[in-house]
Chain A
Amino acid sequence: MDTANTCPSLKPKDYKSGTKPVWCPGCGDYSVLLSITKAMAELNLSPENAALVSGIGCSSRLPAYLNVYGFHAVHGRALPVATGLKVSRPDITVLAAGGDGDGFSIGGNHFMHACRRNVDMTYIVMDNQVYGMTKGQASPTTDPDWDKSKLTPEGTKINPYYPLVIALASGANFIARASSTDPNGAAKVLVDAIRHPGFSFVHMLSPCVTFRPEQKDWKKMVRSAPVEPTTDPAVAAKRLMTDDNFFLGTLYKGSRAAYQPELKQSVDNIGELEQGFRL
């Protein structure tokens, strides 16, 4: 098992900030927060050497609830901020997180190019197939016949976005799916994702109990993928194209070298830095 096996010095709760989450009771994001803190504890991460960057949306509230460095970026822009952070501070562990609307709609272009750049970080997208924060509109991953929003009373009638396929085609080095209905299993996937070099993408199923209450049934629908992670993109492509969205586990582990530009010497005083920004 490619996971941590040493005794953690910090407990999962040590990674929580103490700020009370304001997600709806029953929301899958509580469980994702728990998985992230469990993964951080298993990896023995020092809070001062880790950062989580998010976009906008319910799930993007995550940085406020963690005791690591955090940045609540603008809508869809978690990945460019996280990329800049990681290339300038390659010594720290960088995670990016957000929802399906944030990551695949307004941030969709950043997602493709982050996969392509293959900077060493982990991107967690909590997918509930709806825009929850704005009261329940169809998102890129919503099924075409979902007709509960007044904006799409007959459904969107367009194909949903397949993030794992896009990630593979764009060059992500690690592709996995986890579920908030299995926080302990999700913690293992996150440990593996963070440890794997390059850009790791974790598709995290996380039900919205308020606007998609039927998603509570995901707990009964998810199951472990009956396959080992492949290193062959062709095998992975076939696997992901025939995937029903409920197989959990690591589905692809690539071997591309992570992108890390050579860093210029850092400035010694703030005056030099200001000089660089002078118009």
Chain B
Amino acid sequence: MNSISISSKADLLARTLAMLSETVERYDLFADQMEVVNNPVAEEIFKWLSKKQSERTAVVEKLVEGEDLPHIPPWDYDWDDAINTSVPGWTSAHYMMTPYHTLSLAMDVEQSAADFFHQVEQGSNDPALQKLAHGFAREAESYRDYLSRERRQYPLPEAGWDEDQDPPQLLE
């Protein structure tokens, strides 16, 4: 695992806040997408994920009250693509996605977040920064495990789950 060098607690808090608040926006966006493509089950789960993520964001916002956080341009965020859930790829949204896929996507986000915080912990010599990064990593792992338990109520999708009997491709 590569290490990530972050200069201060304020720097880490600014990045953490950006990560959490961007994920809220993406879950909202995914919920909108699922509404547009008439997938109400996935829509509801994304709304639930957004609510949960908002609560976690509020905790960090409380933590940074009164802190003077630096501005970090997005190209310096340094986190894994899986956190960028709007990125097209095999882990991104699909119009026929099932609850299992929806929660798996969120678990990938949390795993990537935990990896990011572990990398920050490894890249720092500052005990206070290491402690904070370690705490965030543990929290992300704990939330990932919670999502994994939630996912157990849904069956593993069978092969061909994305076969559409009314596909968008029209014969020319």
A: which residues have CB within 8 A of B?
Answer: 3-8, 13, 20-28, 30-31, 34, 38, 42, 135-137, 149-151, 180-185, 187-188, 206-207, 209-211, 215-216, 218-219
Contact B84 A183 (CB under 8 A): yes
CB of B172 within 8 A of CB of A26, answer no
Is B4 close to A, CB under 8 A? no
Contact of A183 (CB < 8 Å), options: B37, B73, B87? B87
Asked if B106 is an interface residue, CB under 8 A from chain A, the answer is no
On whether the beta carbons of A207 and B73 are closer than 8 Å, the reply is no
B23 to chain A, nearest CB (A): 12
Task: Count how many chain B residues have C-beta atoms less than 8 Å from C-beta atoms of the other chain.
Answer: 31
User: Of A5, A31, A216, which contacts B86 at CB under 8 A?
Assistant: A31
Taking the closest CB of chain B, its distance from the CB of A191, in whole angstroms, is: 8
Q: Which residues of A contact B74 (CB under 8 A)?
A: 38, 42, 183-184, 187-188
Question: What CA separation (Å) do A139 and B75 show in the bound complex?
Answer: 31
CB pair A136–B87 under 8 Å, yes or no, is: no
> What DSSP secondary structure best describes chain A's contact surface?
loop
**How distant is the Cα of A5 from the Cα of B70 in the complex, in angstroms?**
11
A186 to chain B, nearest CB (A): 9
Q: Assess whether B73 is in contact with A26, with CB atoms less than 8 Å apart.
A: no
Q: For residue B75, which residues in chain A have a CB less than 8 angstroms away from its CB?
A: 3, 184-185, 187-188
Distance (Å) between the CB of A129 and the closest chain B CB?
Answer: 14
A21 contacts B32, C-beta separation under 8 Å: yes
Tell me if B114 counts as interface (CB < 8 A to partner A).
no
Residue of B nearest to A28 (CB): B88
Q: A210–B168 Cα gap in the complex (Å)? A: 8
From the candidates A5, A25, A183, A187, name the one contacting B94 in the complex (CB within 8 A): A25
A–B Cβ pairs within 8 angstroms, 13 of them:
A20-B35, A21-B33, A24-B95, A25-B97, A30-B33, A38-B74, A135-B170, A149-B172, A183-B74, A187-B75, A207-B88, A209-B88, A209-B94
> Could you tell me if A151 and B172 are in contact, using CB atoms closer than 8 angstroms?
yes
